Amino acid sequence: MEGTMKVVIKQEPKEGAVLVTKEIPKIGPKDILVKVLATSICGTDYHIYSWDAWSQKRIQTPRVMGHEFAGEVVAVGENVTRVKIGDIVSAETHVVCGKCALCVTGQAHICKDTKILGVDTDGSFGEYIAIPEENAWINDPSIPPEYLCVQEPLGNAVHTVLSGEIIGKSIAVVGCGPIGIMAVAVAKAVSASKVIAIEVNEYRIELAKKLGADVVINPMKEDVVRRVLEETDGMGVDVVAEMSGNAVAIQQALEYIKLGGRMSMLGIPTKNVEIDIAGMVFKGIQIHGIVGRRMYDTWYQVKGLLASGNLNIDPIITHRLPLEEYEKGMELMKSGNCGKVVLFPNMNQ
């Protein structure tokens, strides 16, 4: 397809981003071109926008930002066989080699040669995006695109919560940013016995309550360890879903996790965290690092949860903005007074 498109791009290695016009991307023989209908802002996008230490080491500018999206396929490469023009798709954002020992043994989500859309390649904050056919997830077209575009981060929450036994288990969700509040909803949908949400931002505390958290604890107002133990008859929680990356929160979680419990860690600390290894050993706990979504097991789990009607994600999408108002979206992310912020490249058309 010939022509130009508007995109939000990290033009220079400094804070911020700009809205510019760029050529519509060309596709290779195994690629598809997608017209973006909706794209949501991830914490990673905000890291890139704010140009933090991680971004400075990882991002090569210029780079079109964004990776969570849903859109319509408008062109396909000559060797594409599974996806057709008109399909409504989302994307698994980890582009992997497909050949290494990890990829061929069901561990593609940790392929050592992974490239990430919007990080290592141009992303979805624009009118069009080109992706490999194998990364396309074909959606039910009757579902609104703003719900379809959040399946990728929802997959992170599903992977975190379901990386071990959860039915009938108590769980603490530590950090109720967009993926954390999704984890609250997922835990409720799959019959966790008690869901404890731990969060400092009042806006997100209310979201956690709306999504079904049985107990909400603000660490700025309460002793988290004492309260969690009170809520679990002194035993501690069976599962910790660590979404915050906060050093103190991680250290506290290791105190209130139950003997033999599971700690699934998705949050990324900004610096090294000192932890009591001996305490972990004698508690007999499992620590599981969560990377993205299992390809494609997690996508099928997400699909099943959405189809079941048990998972309510409507309250998670709190703001809908035209792509041109991306700066407002980034400010909302900075303040924490939002759930998922969805951008629409052609909202007013």
Q: Where are the domains of the chain?
A: 4-150+313-344, 156-289
- Cβ–Cβ < 8 Å for 27, 130: yes
Give the predicted TM-score (pTM) of the model: 0.94
pLDDT above 90 covers a percentage of the chain that reads 95
- The arithmetic mean of pLDDT across residues 298-305, rounded, is 96
- Residue 349: its pLDDT value, please? 60
Common-topology check for domains 4-150+313-344 and 156-289: no
**By the 8 A CB rule, do 253 and 174 touch?**
yes
The string of pLDDT tens digits covering residues 134-162 is 999 999 999 999 999 999 999 999 999 99
Q: What positions carry a catalytic annotation?
A: 44, 47
Is residue 337 pLDDT above 70, yes or no? Answer: yes
Domain spanning 4-150+313-344: CATH superfamily = Medium-chain alcohol dehydrogenases, catalytic domain (3.90.180.10)
Helices (H), the chain: 43-50, 53-58, 101-104, 145-148, 151-161, 178-189, 202-210, 224-231, 247-256, 277-283, 297-308, 326-335
Range 85-99 average pLDDT = 97
What 103-111 contacts at long range (C-beta under 8 Å, 24+ apart), as own/partner pairs, is 106/294, 108/295, 109/291, 109/292, 109/293, 109/294, 109/295, 110/291
pLDDT-derived band at 170 (thresholds 50, 70, 90) equals: very high
Which is the CATH superfamily of the domain at 156-289? NAD(P)-binding Rossmann-like Domain (3.40.50.720)
Statement: residue 229 has pLDDT above 90? yes
Task: Kindly state the greatest CA–CA separation across the chain.
Answer: 64
